[in-house]
């Protein structure tokens, strides 16, 4: 674990030197990703977030989950391909008592590592949006024994769309989530995941955002939906994003919030004219 954090810290330091101007296309800790990709760009983000009263998938109990910290590394290239790694350390507090079926233990430990990838099917043009196929994998790093994770690998397959309309950026996604079921052997739950994000740039250094994310009810899990709003500043090559939101259904988190500090820029220096 220490070695992993050291590598991530080195990468963050490297990004400060490489990214002369942070641009942070999508600011703050949100679910939606852009369908765009850079020529050869690196994005590194560190932050913290909280989800209060969330119901754990496949189980009945609720918990408060703090990501302290969460980290993202994304490399995009050829204007078509992007690969992102997302990881967090969790502090978890449960509302319920442990049972034989639902082991619970408050504490601090590893969250799940998420590997997100996308390939741009269409590059954005003045008259058409960017369209990308996405493949996201959640690896079983979090402890299932203590109630942190599911000890299962999850897969998401879907599409991303992005379009700039003057000072407004529109982003949307739809995906099929294939979730490993920890309560039954060799079983899964298929869920529909959708999101929409609007980013407005009223000034060069300021962006405002609104996002709605939802997971439709499935055979083994109730539905989830969260609305978020926030703002981001770009100052001296640093992207600072803050969000807060509420759940829109009975089993959604009551409250979510997060803070991100990010660096986003090209790895190649511009050629002199």
Contact 178, 152 (CB under 8 A): no
Residue 26 bridge partners (DSSP): none
Stretch (H or E) spanning 245:
strand 238-247
Residue among 64, 125, 68 at smallest CA distance from 95 = 64
Burial class (CB in 10 A: 0-12, 13-18, 19+), 174: middle
pLDDT at residue 143, as a whole number: 78
Question: How many domains would you assign to the chain?
Answer: 1
pLDDT at residue 269, as a whole number: 73
pLDDT at residue 183, as a whole number: 84
pLDDT at residue 270, as a whole number: 65
Residue 77 lies in a domain: yes
Residue 146 lies in a domain: yes
Residues making up the chain, counted from first to last:
273
Cα atoms in the 13 Å half-sphere on the side-chain side of 120: 21
* Segments forming the whole domain that contains residue 141: 2-266
Domain holding 18: CATH number?
2.40.160.40
pLDDT at residue 176, as a whole number: 98
Model pTM? 0.85
Block means of pLDDT (10 residues each) for the chain, length 273 residues? Answer: 40 35 63 93 94 90 92 94 95 73 78 95 95 96 79 95 95 97 88 97 93 96 96 87 95 95 83 60
Q: Enter the tokens of residue 190.
A: 């298929």
pLDDT at residue 272, as a whole number: 60
pLDDT at residue 19, as a whole number: 32
pLDDT at residue 14, as a whole number: 35
Residue 271 lies in a domain: no
Residue 157 lies in a domain: yes
Residue 181 lies in a domain: yes
Residue 273 lies in a domain: no
Number of Cβ within a 10 Å radius of residue 259: 19
């Amino acid at each position: 674990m220490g070695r992993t954090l050291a590598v991530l810290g080195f990468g963050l330091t490297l990004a400060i030197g490489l990214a002369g101007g942070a641009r942070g296309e999508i600011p703050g800790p949100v679910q939606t990703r852009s369908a765009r990709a850079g020529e050869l760009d690196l994005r590194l983000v560190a932050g913290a977030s909280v989800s209060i009263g969330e119901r754990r998938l496949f189980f009945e109990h609720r918990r408060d989950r703090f990501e302290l910290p969460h980290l993202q590394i994304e490399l995009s290239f050829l204007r078509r391909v992007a690969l992102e790694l997302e990881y967090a350390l969790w502090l978890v507090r449960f509302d319920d008592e442990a049972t034989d079926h639902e082991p619970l233990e408050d504490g601090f430990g590893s969250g799940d590592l998420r590997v997100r990838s996308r390939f741009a099917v269409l590059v954005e043009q003045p008259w058409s949006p960017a369209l990308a196929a996405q493949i996201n994998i959640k690896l079983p790093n979090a402890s299932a024994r203590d109630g942190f994770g599911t000890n299962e690998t999850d897969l998401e397959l879907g599409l991303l769309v992005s379009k700039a309309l003057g000072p407004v950026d529109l982003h949307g996604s739809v995906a099929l989530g294939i979730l490993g079921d920890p309560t039954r052997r060799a079983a899964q739950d298929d869920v529909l995941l959708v999101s929409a994000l609007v980013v407005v740039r009223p000034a060069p250094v300021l962006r405002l955002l609104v996002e709605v994310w939802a997971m439709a009810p499935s055979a083994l899990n109730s539905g989830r939906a969260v609305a978020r709003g926030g703002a981001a500043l770009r100052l001296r090559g640093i992207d600072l994003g803050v969000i807060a939101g509420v759940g829109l259904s009975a089993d959604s988190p009551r409250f979510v919030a997060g803070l991100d500090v990010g660096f986003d820029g090209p790895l190649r220096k511009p050629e002199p004219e």
